[in-house]
Each structure stands twice: as structure tokens, then as C-alpha cells.
Amino acid sequence: MLEFVSEYFLSYLWQIGTAFLNVIAPVSGSVITNPVMAYLTDPQRAIGIGAFVMFFGGMHRVYLFRKEIFNDAKNIKIVKQMLPYSIVGAVTGGLLISSLNVQLLALIVVIVSVHFIFKTARKIISDKKSSGAQGKFGYALVAVLTGFFQGSGMPGADIRNNYLRTVLSEVSVRATGTILGATNFLVAGTVIFLHNKMQSDDIIFVVSLIPFLFIAQIYGKRFLEKIPDKNAKIIALCLSLLGVVLLTYKYLL
């Protein structure tokens, strides 16, 4: 047991810390967590572990944000529109994980993320409501891309949440993104597990981590609720920019 804890000690610390940040700005998910876990284990195991950790964390966030999700008809409508396309994307990404060109995927994520970061920055500066691209095609395209990237271990949440951030409050972004992200990670993690890319110790690690994830996320939500929406968006944008820099450094330089 002591040997198991010592082997995964750094992973425990990293996952707990990013769980707190993930409530405030979900850029701390795949883009920061998976590269570190890949260093501690190996890439495919890291993606599988990250998928299950973020699934269980996501289900807990669904509970934490249940009022924001179910008391707002707009949030429910967005989830219904995007969920089927997210699942299709996640299954495809999980199945193709071993044959994907990560440099091309990273480039797409960077370009799309920067586009929506720019749109959100303009909204913060002007302090006006943005109409955004709310058509069904826009939601479907973003959902498929997000599901595909998250299914393949890339930071797809950046695309979805920076997109939603142009039309929703930060709490609503977190509420809707939680359901979509948790579903994507469950699908991706299951596909990776069924292809025997994970070890039994990885599953034990994920299960033992769950209580600490919940505690970190409770305090993360309290922090998010205490700060103005504009400040929350600024924090999210800063972390998104950090994620873009890390992604560019890891895959494109």
C-alpha cells in the first residue's frame, strides 16, 4: 500500500490542485493535467486516467451546479443541442487515439481557442451582451470538435467553454460544460479501458482520489460564487492563454 501511495503521490497532488482550478476555469483539465500525467506514466494511460478522474469530478460538479443547470431553460436547451454531437465526437476520438496527428490537432485547438478568447476579451472590455453564434450548426460543430478532442486526450473544453463564454455567464458556462465534459470523458475513458490501455492500479488510483476531488471542487465553487462574473472571465481567459502557451510549447515547437 505504501509503495502504491508513493508511486502515485505526485499524481494525487496534481489532480487535487487542478480539480480546484477546474471549477473556476476548465482549461486546467486536459491541457495541463494530461501532459504531466503522461510524464508520470505514459500517454495512453495518462489520457485514460485523466478521462475517468474528470468524469467523476464532472459528475460531482453536476451536483454542485444543479440549480444553475436545471433552473435555467437556456442552459438545458444548450445541453440538449450539444450532447448527442459531443458523444459522437468522443467515441470517434477515443477510437482513433493511437493514430491521430497530435500536432495537427493541437494547431486546430490553438486557432479555435484564440478566436473565442478574443471574442470573450472584447465582451469584457465593452461590457455588453454578445449575441454570439447561437445557431444549431454552431452548437453542433463546437460539440463535435470538443467531444473529439476530449476523447483523444486534447483540451477540447477550451473550444466549448470559450465559445459559450461569449453568450453565457461564467457560472452558466461551468454548469453546461460540466454535463457535456463528464459525458465525453466517460465515453473516452471506457473506450480506452476496453482497449486494455490502463492497469488495475490506475483504476485504484482514480477511485481513491474521488473524496479529495469532491472537497477541492466544493471550495472551488465557493470561490467562483464570491467573485464577480467579469473577474471570473478574466481568470478563465488568463488560464486559457496559459493553456494555449503550454499546448503550443508541447506539440508545436
CA-CA distance, 54 to 213, in Å (whole number)? Answer: 9
CB 186 within 8 A of CB 62: no
Helices (H), the chain: 2-24, 30-40, 43-64, 66-70, 73-95, 102-126, 136-151, 156-164, 170-194, 200-226, 229-251
The pLDDT assigned to 12 comes to: 80
Q: What is the pLDDT along the chain (253 residues), one digit of tens a residue?
A: 555 566 677 778 877 877 887 777 655 455 555 555 655 666 566 667 777 887 888 888 888 888 888 888 888 888 888 999 999 998 888 777 667 676 776 677 677 677 767 776 776 777 654 444 456 788 888 899 888 887 776 667 777 877 887 778 878 887 888 888 888 888 877 877 777 667 777 788 888 889 998 999 899 888 888 888 778 778 777 777 776 776 677 667 7
* Phi, psi dihedrals of residue 25, rounded to the nearest 5°: -150, 110
The amino acid at 114: V
Question: What angle is formed at CA 162 by the lines to CA 158 and CA 164, rounded to 5 degrees?
Answer: 120
Q: Is 29 helix (H, G, I), strand (E, B) or coil?
A: coil
Q: Is 86 exposed, middle or buried (0-12, 13-18, 19+ CB in 10 A)?
A: buried
Task: State the DSSP string of 147-209.
Answer: HHHHHTTS-HHHHHHHHHTTTS-HHHHHHHHHHHHHHHHHHHHHHHHHTT-S-HHHHHHHHHH
Q: Are 90 and 151 in contact (CB under 8 A)?
A: yes
User: CA 61 to CA 239: how far, in whole Å?
Assistant: 19
Which amino acid is residue 50, in one-letter code? G
Residue linked to cell 467515441: 91
Q: What are the grid coordinates assigned to 161, written together?
A: 467553454
